[in-house]
Amino acid sequence: ADEALREAARLVREVPDFPEPGVLFRDISPMLANGPALNAVVSALGRDFDFDVVAGVEARGFLVGAAVAHAFGTGVIGLRKPGKLPVVADRIEYSLEYGRATLELPAETLRPGQRVLVVDDVLATGGTLGAACRLVRQAGADVAAAAVVLELTALEGRDKILGEKVRALLQV
C-alpha cells in the first residue's frame, strides 16, 4: 500500500507561477486520473477511521470525497460555496488569505451525532478545512477526522484545525 502511494505521488505535477508568479502549484489531477493511484489514495484516506458519512469540500474535495464514500460504503455530502444550494441547513463564514469565504451544508443530509470524515484535496492555509470541520460540529455532528491528499506544510494550515485528527497522505 505504501508503495502504491509512492507511485501515486509521482503523478502530482508541479506547475511554476500558478495562479500567480512565484507560486509553485501542485496539481493532483494526473494522480486522480490514474486508476491505481486513485485507488491507493482513496483507501489510504479512509483507512482505520470510524465514520458514518463523508463530507467533501467544493470543488476538488467532491472528487476525492465521493470516491472515499463509495469505497467505504457511506454516503457523501457536498459542502458548497454560497448560492448553489436550494435549501441550506447551516453555513459558516471564514477568512482566507485575502477576504472571506462561506461554506454551506445542504438540508436533510447530516444528522446530529453522525461521525463525519471531512475530505479535501489540499490543505494549504487550513482556512477551508478548518471551516468545514467547524460547520460539521456546528450542525451537531462529530468530526471523525479530516483527511486530505496533499498538505503544503510551509503554510502551517494544520495549526488551524485544532482538536481534530488530521491525515495528509503526501506532504510537501
**Any contact of residue 69 with ligand PRP (CB under 6 A)?**
no
Query: For the window 103-142, what string marks contact with ligand HPA as x by the rule CB under 6 A?
Result: -------------------x-x------------------
| Beta carbon nearer to ligand PRP, 17 or 111 | 17
Catalytic-labelled residue, pool 10, 13, 47, 60 = 60
- Decide the pairing of beta strands 115-123 and 100-106: unpaired
**Any contact of residue 57 with ligand HPA (CB under 6 A)?**
no
**Any contact of residue 104 with ligand PRP (CB under 6 A)?**
no
Q: For residue 58, indicate whether it is catalytic.
A: no
Query: CB of 61: closest distance to ligand HPA in angstroms?
Result: 11
Q: Which of 71, 72, 70, 75 is nearest to 55 (CA)?
A: 75
Q: Which of 131, 126, 75 is nearest to 104 (CA)?
A: 131
For residue 102, which amino acid is it?
T
DSSP H helical ranges for the chain? 2-9, 29-32, 35-46, 60-72, 127-138
Binder to ligand PRP among 32, 68, 127, 161 (CB under 6 A)?
A: 127
State how far Cα 127 lies from the chain centre. 11
Query: CB of 58: closest distance to ligand PRP in angstroms?
Result: 5
Residue whose C-alpha cell is 508541479: 14
Q: Cα separation of 140 and 110, whole Å?
A: 9
25 binds, among ligand PRP, ligand HPA, none (CB under 5 to 8 A by kind): ligand HPA
Q: Cα separation of 86 and 106, whole Å?
A: 8
Q: For residue 108, indicate whether it is catalytic.
A: no
**Any contact of residue 158 with ligand HPA (CB under 6 A)?**
no
**Any contact of residue 124 with ligand PRP (CB under 6 A)?**
yes
For residue 62, which amino acid is it?
F
Task: Using CB under 6 A, list all residues that contact ligand PRP.
Answer: 57-61, 120-129, 157
Mind telling me the catalytic residues?
Answer: 60, 97
